[in-house]
Amino acid sequence: MSTLISIDARTGQAHGAPLPASTPSDIDASVCAASAASPLWARSDGAARGTLLRALAEALEADREPLVACADRETALGPVRLNGELDRTCFQLRRFAELAEQGLPYAQTDDPAVPGAPPVGHPAMLRQQLPLGPVAMFAASNFPFAFSVLGGDTASALAAGCPVVVKAHPGHPELSQRVFAQTQSVLARQGLPAGLIGMVQGADVAVGVALIRHPLIAAGAFTGSTRGGLALWAEANARPRPIPFYGELGAINPVVALPQALATRGAELATTLAGSITLGCGQFCTNPGTVVLIDGPESDAFVQQLVQALTPIAPHAMLTAGMRRAFEHGVVELVAAGAQPLLPSAAQNAAPGPQLLQVGGAQFVANPHLREEVFGPASLLVRCADLTEVCAVLQAIGGSLTTTLWGVDEDSEANRTLVRAATAIAGRVLFAGVPTGVAVSAGQHHGGPWPASTAPGTTSVGDAALARFLRPVCLQDAPGWLVAREGLPC
């Protein structure tokens, strides 16, 4: 039997005893247990769902200190970041508890009967929502709390009335085990089936493939690399009965910095952008991997300011040795594609140095290798001749989680053109600040056109994430007793 081992992200040394990887029979047992729990949980009301989600948040907070210490050892993200992430995770759980209690999963559209012949006349129709069933949730490496065992996908699926089987990330196996043990204790105290929240683990891709292929899994939710997400998406669609697969994948998140913004706030924006590029060692899906400039003295000055801001920054170690190798390979590939490095080579320490490279707009549009995501503290400057070339650069990117526009404060045809180009490719368009940091709120959309997402009409963050795990059904001429249930499934 293959095993997992917890690795100290700073030293690269193994920590603790090996953990067994899930076997095919383990995966089958977890999914079958989730399926057995599914009818009960689908019929649960908002109060029951809210009680569970709030108890899970309380369990995380009660175990905060050892959880953060464990997460820090396995990720090197630091206690300040991890405490903040744990707070966000608890906020998400309570947010979805509140939405369940308010009745969002049970919302109905009442379309009373209209007498007469079609097309004007029609029977009474009641449109409501049903939980999909067991969800395969694939945890992310870079958010060991917020996108892991009890992260936003798990919280939103539970609020929607769906059991969850988590595929734990091998980058933080000890933390995943500890959080999963907490969930089982909470379920037991509330008299709920243990299978309502299951977990499988393993570094081999076969574990994830077996999970998404299982015939009782009704949907998949994934946050991670484009390559991994694309493979699982293909598996979800190759099943005898394909299922929805909500993949939040890679993005290069362009920041368009116009001369008028740089002329007045160039130094400030350079400092802000440098912090965003290196935040968390650049290991964010919203990392600003591309900065688009229009040639001119303002942009020339900004590039120098950004170089100066980045040079002294020393990011911490990356999450895993594999990610470090992938980051370095990605930078090499950018150089091979014609990008010019602007920062001195960093010493080969435990942590990588920031990377800033530069290409021309036409070169960027012509070479797809320059549009590959480099996951880590790196950004590619794209120098354009004019607004037309900026729009061509955005169009070449094709899909991104975010696009940031600095300097479109006034209404003009040029600025409208830029906004059209930005909204065409991104799920979220920022007009101030930087893309790192994704608020959990009613208006949030964390997704985008391919390759940012496999389902651009959905979000993995915010209130609307719950809708991914509900299926609409129309009840035509429903009897009174069924109408009286007010959207609660039978």
> 221 with 138: CB under 8 angstroms?
yes
Contacts of 387 (CB under 8 A, 6+ apart): 294, 414, 417, 418
Instruction: Report residue 128: phi and psi, to 5°.
Output: -135, -170
Q: What is the pLDDT of residue 348?
A: 59
Of the candidates 250, 330, 322, 257, the one whose C-alpha atom is nearest the C-alpha of residue 286 is 250
pLDDT of residue 314: 87
- Domain 3-249+453-483 and domain 254-430, same fold? Reply is no
Task: Please report, as a single letter, which amino acid is at residue 98.
Answer: E
Q: Sheet holding 355-360: strands in order across?
A: 340-341, 355-360, 378-384, 290-294, 254-257, 400-406, 426-430
Residue whose tokens read 């697969």: 245
Tokens 């995501």 correspond to what residue? 373
Q: One digit per residue, pLDDT tens: the chain, 490 residues? A: 578 999 999 999 998 889 999 999 999 999 999 999 999 999 999 999 999 999 999 999 999 999 999 999 999 999 999 999 999 999 999 999 999 999 999 999 999 999 999 999 999 999 999 999 999 999 999 999 999 999 999 999 999 999 999 999 999 999 999 999 999 999 999 999 999 999 999 999 999 999 999 999 999 999 998 999 999 999 999 999 999 999 999 899 999 999 999 999 999 999 999 999 999 998 999 999 999 999 999 999 999 999 999 999 988 889 888 899 999 999 999 999 999 999 987 655 667 889 999 999 999 999 999 999 999 999 999 999 999 999 999 999 999 999 999 999 999 999 999 999 999 999 999 999 999 989 999 999 999 999 999 999 999 999 999 999 999 999 999 999 999 999 999 9
In 440-450, which positions are buried (b, 16+ CB within 10 angstroms) versus exposed (e)?
Answer: beeebbbbbbe
Instruction: Say which residues have a Cβ less than 8 Å from residue 489's Cβ, sequence separation at least 6.
Output: 42, 43, 130, 131, 161
- Residue 63, Cβ neighbours under 10 Å: how many? 16
Q: What is the pLDDT of residue 347?
A: 54
Sheet holding 470-476, edge to edge: 109-111, 125-131, 470-476
Of the residues 248, 298, 373, 389, which is catalytic?
Answer: 248
Residues in the chain: 490
Share of the chain above pLDDT 70, in %: 99
Pick the CATH number of 254-430 from 3.40.50.2000, 1.20.120.1230, 3.30.465.10, 3.40.309.10: 3.40.309.10
CA distance readout (Å), 485 to 101, 105, 126, 128, 490 = 15, 13, 12, 11, 8
pTM metric for this prediction? 0.95
CA–CA separation, 267 and 263 (whole Å): 9
Q: Quote the tokens at residue 26.
A: 């383990």
Which parts of 138-197 fold into alpha helices (H)? 152-160, 173-189
Return the pLDDT at 64.
97
- Active-site residue (options: 285, 373, 384, 389): 285
User: What residues does each domain of the chain span?
Assistant: 3-249+453-483, 254-430
Class level of CATH domain 3-249+453-483 = alpha beta
- Tens-digit pLDDT profile for residues 4-15: 999 999 999 998
How many whole angstroms separate alpha carbon 296 and alpha carbon 318? 36
CB neighbours (10 Å) of residue 54? 18
Q: Which residues contact 296 (CB under 8 A, 6 or more apart)?
A: 259
Decide if 74 is catalytic. no
Amino acid 46 reads G
CB 195 within 8 A of CB 37: yes
Q: Is 285 a catalytic residue?
A: yes
The pLDDT score that the predictor gives to residue 50 is: 98
Closest among 480, 471, 479 to 160, alpha carbons compared: 471
